[in-house]
Structure 1
Amino acid sequence: MLALILTVLYMLSLVGVAVDLVAWKCLASPHCLAGRAWLSWLGGGRGAGGFRGRCGASGSG
């Protein structure tokens, strides 16, 4: 039972990291979101225009 719980927690952590990376890299670019309505929930309803990403080191402001 412990192995199953650890496996599920490991998989959930990988999914969390993957969603975070997609949000960080893709939501900063309207071109990336074009045709991908299933990603709109990651922007919190703001759309790609109001999201700059976490880093701010891309040079776009």
Structure 2
Amino acid sequence: MEKQERRPESRKESHSKEEVKPNPKVVESGKKLKEDIDKLVDEIDDVLEKNAEEFVKNYVQKGGE
């Protein structure tokens, strides 16, 4: 059986070595969205602590409409 020779494939580097800096507007928008989501999760948590059964019933009714 003959041995097959493998040639190393030449790879072209498509990524530049420049450092990319994040857009400050996008970063600020992301922080605001995170804060809003955290507030919503806290609100849901408070409702669930008070009455989880009622919350689930209301959720199922609204989701099924």
Question: Which structure exhibits the higher relative contact order, with contacts defined as CA atoms closer than 8 Å and separated by 6 or more residues?
Answer: 1
Larger Rg: 2
Structure (1/2) with the larger helix percentage: 2
